[in-house]
Structure 1
Amino acid sequence: MNRTITIGTRGSDLALWQANYVKDKLAEINVKAELKIIKTQGDSILNLRLDKLEGKGFFTKELEEHLLEGSVDLAVHSHKDLPTKNPEGLIIAAVSTREDPSELILILKDCVDSSKKLSVKHNGTVGTSSNRRQSQLFAVRPDLEFQNLRGNVPTRIQKLRDEDYDAIIIAKAGVSRLNIDLSEFYVEEIEPTAELVPSPAQGVLAIQIRENDQELFDVLQHIHNSEVAAQIAVERKVLNLFDGGCHMPLGCYCEKEDDLFHVWTTKSKDAEEFPDRLYISSQTTEGLAELIVSKFDVEKRKMPKKVFISRELSEHSYFRKSLDKHTIEVEARSLIRTVPTIHKLDSYIFRNVDWIFFSSKNGIEYFFALEPILPKDLKFGVVGRGSEEALKQLGKVVSFVGESIDTTEIAEEFAVIANGQSILFPSAKDSLRTIQKAMSAETTILDLTVYETILEEGVSQSFADVLVFTSPSNVDAYFANNLLDPGQKVVAIGKSTGKKFDEMNVNYILPSSPDEIGLAEVVFGIDI
């Protein structure tokens, strides 16, 4: 291409980074480009929440107008800011690779409470203008107060520095791209499948051109990421089918792994409503967005009337609240009981120990009931966010969290960072020792049996529409006396529990994560 391409961009640091990123990509294929800075409505109006601005595309409209007029050849957008439909005459010609779509909570260090979920102090003030973020965070931390936060990334961080808030939430992608030093804050990262599902196409750049510029379109295919395009097409179609804009409390994230598309979606009516969450996997994207949207039409679906779960639930339980929202009856009862196996710890056991690894909340409870005096430099590893939360409530910082439903995968991940060190495993009598078996021969393994699981006898049958089992022991206890009724659906919290049903030749559903949010996601998607 002989012509020099004019790139239209907003003037913020992040927008300029994005435009220069595309300019550099074009330079790699010997295409010259220059930047033209354009001010948008979103840059001019900083005193209103995003959902109060008129219409859609308030960060993109002016760029698109310049494209249509021909004063620029190409516009670079944060894809999540774009309306789902292009103005007539414009197309998205290419998308970038995806920056990590996680969210960051930045907390003033004197406002940190590590015993709380997400580490913000009780009744803390959190800055965000996103209904999506507020809805999801309010579901897990109803004590928090949310206040409007606008401005570019450095401006938002400065407002936190000025102590206008106790904490703020920002996308990790912007911080990474600008290489911002956050060492003065306590930073907690929330992965896109955890408490905060990101905006559709978060972390992706969209390159927009005139539809009739075939020459530029062909050139841009050399920097286009087709795999990312297929994934965000699902997210963007969900947004389009909901007819949602930036103000809708909607999160959607799609990733491809092992030839399957995995999609997490969250939606609520407004920032204060408890959100519905859904997890679906599929071999194809065809019809996937339509299926997702249909699951949120709860008026037309036949949802379960009653759900059994094999553990006790508090009234503040996320899983319970997700079912209460739809007046689904919850039958929560554990089918096992646990008893301690030791009552005293010798302090020598911690000599030269680098890690303590917990496979369950029971292990944490019984270990700390022994009142251990621990070295300060010990690191903690856990299976699941539930165990992470239990440790946080004890004021412990967790260095490794295995979030897969497959303990073998968690073992492989942990082995990468802990092989060759000394690891203490407080666990149950006759535990499977999956983590221990994955460690190298150079690793020092210290097994410490702190409790024993006893199955309840004569467990009564549940006639709930859905049966959720939270451990292999609970499966053994229930099916010692009972059979499945026709039509009952079964959920297994993880693959170890699922293996029990494999042995029984019973179909079951697995969540994406072995915790209450993961269970809520799969149960919400079940039709009876």
Structure 2
Amino acid sequence: MDKIIRIGTRSSELALWQANTVAEQLGHFGHETEIVKIDSLGDVVLDKPLYELGITGVFTKNLDIALLNGKIDIAVHSFKDVPTKLPTGIVQTAVLKRGDFNDVLVIKEDENFFANDSAIIATGSLRRKAQWLYRYPHHKITGLRGNVNTRLKKLEDNDWDGAIFAAAGLKRLKLLPEKEKHIKLDWMIPAPAQGAVMIAALENREDLIEICKEINDEQTATCVKIERDFLRVLEGGCTAPIGALAMIWDEEIKFKGVLFSPDGKNKMEFSKEVPINNASDLGEYGANYILERGGKKLMREVQDIEKSTLVYSTKSLSHQQTSILNSKIGVASSDFITIRNNRLKPVIVKKPIENAVFTSQNAVEALLNNFSPMELNFENIYCVGRRTKRLIEKKIGKVSQVENDAEKLANYLVDNLDTKNVTFFCGNKRRDALPETLTNNEIEVNEVICYQTQLTPKVIEEKYKGILFYSPSGIESYLKENTNNEIVAFCIGETTATEAKKHFKNVETSKLSTVESVLESVNKFFEENK
């Protein structure tokens, strides 16, 4: 294959380590590669809605969409974070030789705390929490979020005795502390596929599939398939404390799978050794063994605990995002809107544009789907939202002014523009506040509709106590099939909240315009209204 292979990855330090490792291994076989960082949804120009394609979470969603849109050739994932069912049209092509699959406890001071009556251990993993409490029921578990560096810093800054990490991540980033400061938790069963790196590609790219096979580690692929089969059968749409580990010794597979209650008080375990050539259904067999011997009841308990309070998100959430929520809050999610980019005529950017205005990341991404950054000659750029600003400055150029909402930006432009005209890059469902304010103040607005917002409403059951909105269009989509205005509306910012207040009695607005901030507002609300 003469073409350069574009390797898609997120831009975190650990993700880039994985992508560069893949590039290095492919290079060993003479293949030329380049790394493509994918951190936004990009160009969502798909034949079907995301949920019909099986793209139901966003932890790997950005890379899935980039694959389907042809922006990358292969996607590199931490395998433990990949859903057990891949989206339609995407296949697993290779699994690299597995790294260290163990969990480790990084110690704050020393091991003496084990002799105390209590201790505080930090982890954001339900699986790690349950296994630790099963072994040390007198200890307290506190939540821990963020990337590896952030979590290590939090351990340093807080009065905790230790924090649990994946050994592979610490080793790959060369952050594993000296021996006196960490303990290998070889008694803790890891997450299915922990320590493994997976490569995905489109199923119709037979050329890439064959190339990736060159770096596939058969033993690792065999083991993690068994572990993920165990997870798939047990999980059933519910997040539970599940661990699984398969290893090959002397032509035999040794497998152990565990299911815990979230509080660590109950444990169910399956272990078996079989010849390699007789292990294809070992994971499924182990999961069904547990389900038939009390596992179904334990899973119901997990679901009851998770769903003592229910909320619904009008945007698909990743596992990492849902883990932000309090363990007593269960969440369902799906996309209530989809975005399709328009084809724009070259004449739009043929001449320099003095004042370019953006009120969403979608407009920026749609514009870049039509033109390269070199074709865009903007003298001044104005936008709404910090994330939109970051995207513009990363892809196009410096932003002259950013505001939190469209109304504030409009007022700024009225007060500060010297030349009374702007080019407004927007979608078909843009709000009227900005263009009306500008027009009323004799500023000419040239609207360029870059993308189409399509509503994909769904009927929401009355059992949900809150619904999460991320745009006025999401509210519009919800109201097409639902009339419950007693439900609490959690909104991503003032613009969305202003629209929500027209239809809902109770509206909560996040402090920041991020999904994570919306989820934090959910936690705070239900904590204060127990």
- In the superposition, the TM-score normalised over structure 1's length comes to 0.50
Code of the residue aligned with 2:220 in structure 1: it is: V
- 1:135 aligned to 2:130? yes
Q: How does 1:50-89 map to 2 (within 5 A)?
A: 57-89=57-89
- Which stretches in structure 1 are left out of the alignment for 5+ residues? 42-54, 302-528
8 Å contact kept, 2:252–2:273: yes
In structure 2, which of residues 174, 178, 198 is the aligned counterpart of residue 179 of structure 1? Answer: 174
Alpha-carbon deviations, 1:126-160, whole Å to 9, x = none?
11111111111101101111111111111111111
- 1:267 aligned to 2:259? yes
- Say if 1:169 and 1:40 are closer, same or farther in 2 by CA, change over 3 A: farther
Code of the residue aligned with 2:83 in structure 1: it is: P
Give the match for residue 464 of structure 1: none
- Which stretches in structure 2 are left out of the alignment for 5+ residues? 42-54, 296-530
In structure 1, which of residues 280, 284, 288 is the aligned counterpart of residue 282 of structure 2? Answer: 288
In structure 2, which of residues 227, 230, 235 is the aligned counterpart of residue 235 of structure 1? Answer: 227
Q: How does 1:371-390 map to 2 (within 5 A)?
A: none
Give the match for residue 143 of structure 2: 148
Query: Residue 238 of structure 1: CA displacement?
Result: 0.7
Alpha-carbon deviations, 1:218-257, whole Å to 9, x = none?
1111101111111111101111111357932000000011
8 Å contact kept, 1:238–1:289: yes
- 1:221 aligned to 2:220? no
- 1:211 aligned to 2:206? no
Code of the residue aligned with 1:31 in structure 2: it is: H
Query: What is the SS of the residue equivalent to 1:253?
Result: strand
Q: How does 1:195-344 map to 2 (within 5 A)?
A: 196-243=188-235, 247-283=239-275, 284-299=278-293
Give the match for residue 475 of structure 1: none
Code of the residue aligned with 2:161 in structure 1: it is: D
Query: What is the SS of the residue equivalent to 1:297?
Result: helix
Cα distance in 2 for residues equivalent to 1:209 and 1:62: 14
Query: Residue 66 of structure 1: CA displacement?
Result: 0.8
- 1:108 aligned to 2:108? yes
Cα distance in 2 for residues equivalent to 1:234 and 1:289: 4
Give the match for residue 458 of structure 1: none
8 Å contact kept, 2:167–2:176: no
Cα distance in 1 for residues equivalent to 2:112 and 2:193: 32
Matched residue count: 280
Query: What is the SS of the residue equivalent to 1:99?
Result: coil
- Say if 1:271 and 1:8 are closer, same or farther in 2 by CA, change over 3 A: farther
- Say if 1:40 and 1:137 are closer, same or farther in 2 by CA, change over 3 A: farther
Query: What is the SS of the residue equivalent to 1:265?
Result: strand
8 Å contact kept, 1:95–1:225: yes
8 Å contact kept, 1:7–1:76: yes
Code of the residue aligned with 1:293 in structure 2: it is: A
8 Å contact kept, 2:130–2:261: no
8 Å contact kept, 1:19–1:76: yes
Give the match for residue 160 of structure 1: 155
Cα distance in 1 for residues equivalent to 2:294 and 2:129: 27
8 Å contact kept, 1:40–1:59: no
Cα distance in 1 for residues equivalent to 2:15 and 2:241: 24
Structure with the bigger percentage of helix: 2
8 Å contact kept, 1:94–1:225: yes
- Say if 1:228 and 1:184 are closer, same or farther in 2 by CA, change over 3 A: closer
Cα distance in 2 for residues equivalent to 1:239 and 1:260: 21
8 Å contact kept, 2:11–2:38: yes
Query: Residue 206 of structure 1: CA displacement?
Result: 0.4
Query: What is the SS of the residue equivalent to 2:35?
Result: strand
Query: Residue 115 of structure 1: CA displacement?
Result: 5.3
Cα distance in 1 for residues equivalent to 2:8 and 2:150: 22
Cα distance in 2 for residues equivalent to 1:65 and 1:221: 23
Code of the residue aligned with 1:242 in structure 2: it is: L
Code of the residue aligned with 1:17 in structure 2: it is: W
Query: Residue 58 of structure 1: CA displacement?
Result: 3.5
Cα RMSD between the aligned structures? 2.2
- Say if 1:147 and 1:114 are closer, same or farther in 2 by CA, change over 3 A: closer
Identity over the aligned pairs, expressed in percent?
32
- Say if 1:9 and 1:185 are closer, same or farther in 2 by CA, change over 3 A: farther
Query: Residue 290 of structure 1: CA displacement?
Result: 2.8
Cα distance in 2 for residues equivalent to 1:165 and 1:57: 32
Code of the residue aligned with 1:74 in structure 2: it is: I
Query: What is the SS of the residue equivalent to 2:172?
Result: helix
- Say if 1:138 and 1:186 are closer, same or farther in 2 by CA, change over 3 A: same
Alpha-carbon deviations, 1:358-386, whole Å to 9, x = none?
xxxxxxxxxxxxxxxxxxxxxxxxxxxxx
Query: Residue 56 of structure 1: CA displacement?
Result: 6.1
- Say if 1:17 and 1:245 are closer, same or farther in 2 by CA, change over 3 A: farther
Cα distance in 1 for residues equivalent to 2:192 and 2:179: 30
- Say if 1:223 and 1:145 are closer, same or farther in 2 by CA, change over 3 A: same
Cα distance in 2 for residues equivalent to 1:180 and 1:223: 26
- 1:188 aligned to 2:183? yes
- Say if 1:267 and 1:6 are closer, same or farther in 2 by CA, change over 3 A: same
Alpha-carbon deviations, 1:253-297, whole Å to 9, x = none?
000112211111110242444222222111221332232112212
- Say if 1:40 and 1:295 are closer, same or farther in 2 by CA, change over 3 A: farther
- Say if 1:280 and 1:181 are closer, same or farther in 2 by CA, change over 3 A: closer
My pick for the range that moved more, 210-219 or 182-191, is: 182-191
Alpha-carbon deviations, 1:29-68, whole Å to 9, x = none?
1111111212269xxxxxxxxxxxxx96442111111111
Query: What is the SS of the residue equivalent to 1:224?
Result: coil
